[in-house]
Structure 1
């Protein structure tokens, strides 16, 4: 069976021969006589015009669809959530987070994680599923999740491990007093610790009214 390319290259050759009012259809592989219709030049020209119009219409639709898809891709905003909550407005960098924190007077919450870390993946899933955490993160915090370490050593007070979560208040102080459950990894949280993390977030919010 011939492919489209073979048909284009090798043959479907239309040979119009007016013999007893019959139109012949020939291919390279075989030539067979097919009675298509009584040959009428005006009808043949009309068919060509109709075919050309359909081809142009199809090309026009293809161009419009392609342009629409490109426009859709261009206007799609880049997300820095990395799966931690698409409804949250995430800042791109630590420096941007500090700047937004000072302007808004909201505390900064920094999540350190790795893409290929199974503990980070498990925490992310639990974090997204915790509605109270998502609500506070959206409304009361400047949110940042990082795949790379910052130059601020205050973001790793007990070492570089993943995942870990720290808070910074608008006075530019890293709240190292807000810790998790584990003495060997003070700023680490596990999927079952979401209620504990929510309480820590509430503590940070309360500190904004009592200490600042």
Structure 2
């Protein structure tokens, strides 16, 4: 009886010690991966396009959809400026629903002039893609470069204003 109680105790100690120690990588504590993918960690990001549309409609805020690739130098350059610009982050936090995608959706309205990255599109709460809010390039109408951050802020203001005046 003593032997069986001792073996049960030994098993319990072994189990508890396995769950008690949390693995910490050699490089230090890792920051959990978020949906922001580096575009603004303090923002609340939608997981899917459908969820973004739902939040946009229910909160009556425009949706900003960012198409990018992790290994694209143009996407990386825009992401750096975008995430460090306090004005952009503040406007997005207060007035927008945000979604970033590293894959194309089946909705053809989100690629009105082709599939390229980075591509930023505005969708209003009535689920209409705002094809009229464009960047400065004729061949890539929804592309922005790091130097275009002021134009992006202006377009964000336009998306908010149009929303209020049209709905």
Provide TM-score, normalisation by structure 1. Answer: 0.65
Q: CA deviation at 1:69?
A: 3.1
For residues 143 and 191 of structure 1, what CA distance do their matches in structure 2 show?
Answer: 19
Which blocks of at least 5 consecutive residues in structure 1 are unaligned? 1-58, 71-75
Q: Deviations over 1:16-39 (max 9, x none)?
A: xxxxxxxxxxxxxxxxxxxxxxxx
**Off by >3 Å, runs of 4+ in structure 1:** none
Find the structure with the greater CA-based Rg: 1
1:96 and 2:51 matched: yes
1:195 and 2:147 matched: no
Q: CA deviation at 1:78?
A: 5.6
Aligned residues: 147
Q: CA deviation at 1:98?
A: 0.6
Q: For the structure 1 residues 122 and 77, does the alpha-carbon distance in structure 2 shift closer, same or farther, using more than 3 Å as the test?
A: closer
> 1:132 aligns to what?
87
For residues 21 and 45 of structure 2, what CA distance do their matches in structure 1 show?
Answer: 28
**RMSD across aligned C-alpha pairs, in angstroms?**
2.1
Q: For the structure 1 residues 126 and 78, does the alpha-carbon distance in structure 2 shift closer, same or farther, using more than 3 Å as the test?
A: closer
> 2:20 aligns to what?
67
1:170 and 2:125 matched: yes
Which blocks of at least 5 consecutive residues in structure 2 are unaligned? 1-12, 24-30
